[in-house]
Structure 1
Amino acid sequence: MRSLSRAIVAEWLGTALLLAAVVGSGIMAQRLAGGNSALALLCNTIPTGAILVVLILVFGPISGAHFNPAVTVALALRGEFSWSAVAIYIVAQLAGAIAGVWAAHLMFELPLWQFSATARTGPGQWLAEGIATFGLLLTIVGCANRTPAAIPYAVGLYITSAYWFTASTSFANPAVTVARSLSDTFAGIAPAGIPGFVAAQFAGAGLAAALAAWLWAEKVKPAGS
């Protein structure tokens, strides 16, 4: 049985390290890419996908490695996570995400407190976030029902791919969205864009949870069982 206190620390620390990787790699990419936006995005994408694999492998046994309020709520909707722990998980994720952004700022000697000026809004961006989060949840639930050991790698690969096939570069995470609004760097999003992104993310997660209940109504039994 998981210890709730350890799970909360794992969610906080894991989300902090995720945001430090997302924002820190974005700052480094922007500095080294010489104005080439495609190269900067690639350099931001690879560390994000890689760190997700590592963090899920490390913290999965402790907290489930959600690092994402949309994942936490979707799993609660599926009856796979206790509603009594949802709020505290989300608080830990938000606090960790902000701490990770601040850590990135300190590492690169930038002002700790700042707001992004990068506008990310509009129907296309919102649709992209809904699709990104929908796909993320299906990836998690599908692997959990068939090959649980593959979840870290599947999630890392999915987000790596979604950075490029979605118009929004796949935030797919309300905690990430809020925290990235506090960084006026390559990975930032202007605070005004938060409501649309977060609404689309929870909508995508809810649709995925509903579809997954039908797609995987029964877990596949191992051959010979």
Structure 2
Amino acid sequence: MTIALRRRLLAEFTGTALLVTAVVGSGIMATTLSPDDVGLQLLENSIATAFALGALILIFGPVSGAHFNPVVSAADWFLGRRAGTGLTSRDLAGYVPAQILGAIGGSILANLMFDLTAVDFAGKDRAAGHLWLGEVVATTGLILLIFALARSGRAPVAPAAVGAYIGAAYWFTSSTSFANPAVTIGRAFTDTFAGIAPASVPGFVIAQIVGLAIGICLLAALYPDAGKAADQVVVPTSERDPALDPRT
């Protein structure tokens, strides 16, 4: 028996919230601990994010697949629809709002943990062509990595691989690798190290969608049968609900 949608949506909401809490919270802590060294701040922020992402995939992957990202969910639906695998349209319509609401909640939680105003819209302008290009590159790479792992039967290593990729992309992309529309929206709700001005959000989201499209095209060329493995993205979800399975 497949896991109930409500449980998967709760996992996506909670996992995305905790991911953004880690991104924003570690950024706040980094500026507190290293106020005069932006490079060290970015190092602290990226390491915390990479480790937190890997841990969250391990926690929530068996329930929802641990997408935490609308472009990953969209790719999963698009590539799997012909093979009858991956997310259904109904699943996708639930995953994306859950991820966005979770991301907003994660920023609010981080703000409150550090005794800041719950909602304080960011003033950090990130609207520039080279930053959008960075988002295209980061998102394309993320889609390729996730589906290449699934297609080759290596989805179980996704927690380490995806965490490592995002941690590295903090450093090799000009945008510091948001690569996630939900996280981008959530980070607009905090005027801290990880924040992004609301006016800059649409440009980042459009760039991420472009990265999604390029990633899908490259997958079609490199792995024409990638859609058959959509059920393995990011981490395989249980085919049966343990609570209802008499064998467990």
The alignment's C-alpha RMSD in Å is 1.0
- Once the 2 structures are TM-superposed, how far is the Cα of residue 84 of structure 1 from its aligned partner? 1.7
Match status 1:135 vs 2:136: no
Alignment of 1:142-221 (within 5 A): 142-146=148-152, 147-218=154-225
Partner Cα distance (1:211, 1:121) in 2: 27
Question: Counterpart of 1:57?
Answer: 58
Match status 1:28 vs 2:29: yes
- Once the 2 structures are TM-superposed, how far is the Cα of residue 210 of structure 1 from its aligned partner? 2.0
Q: One-letter code of the match for 1:116?
A: A
**TM-score normalised to the size of structure 1?**
0.95
Match of 2:116 among 110, 117, 120: 110
Which string of whole-angstrom CA distances, capped at 9 and with x for unpartnered residues, describes residues 73-121 of structure 1? 1111102321121121111001111111111011100001111011101
Q: Find the residue that maps to 1:78 and give its secondary structure.
A: helix
Q: Which has the higher contact order (CA 8 A, sep 6+)?
A: 2
- Once the 2 structures are TM-superposed, how far is the Cα of residue 7 of structure 1 from its aligned partner? 0.1
Structure 2: segments with no counterpart, 5+ residues: 81-85, 227-248
Alignment of 1:39-58 (within 5 A): 39-58=40-59
Partner Cα distance (2:93, 2:39) in 1: 38
Match status 1:38 vs 2:39: yes
Partner Cα distance (1:83, 1:131) in 2: 27
Q: One-letter code of the match for 2:110?
A: A
- Once the 2 structures are TM-superposed, how far is the Cα of residue 215 of structure 1 from its aligned partner? 1.1
Corresponding residue pairs, total? 219
Partner Cα distance (2:115, 2:137) in 1: 35
- Once the 2 structures are TM-superposed, how far is the Cα of residue 200 of structure 1 from its aligned partner? 0.5
Question: Counterpart of 1:76?
Answer: 77
Which string of whole-angstrom CA distances, capped at 9 and with x for unpartnered residues, describes residues 135-171 of structure 1? 0010100111121111111100000000000000000
Partner Cα distance (1:96, 1:137) in 2: 21
Partner Cα distance (2:198, 2:103) in 1: 15
Question: Counterpart of 1:14?
Answer: 15
**TM-score normalised to the size of structure 2?**
0.86
Question: Runs in 1 of length 4+ with deviation above 4 angstroms?
Answer: none
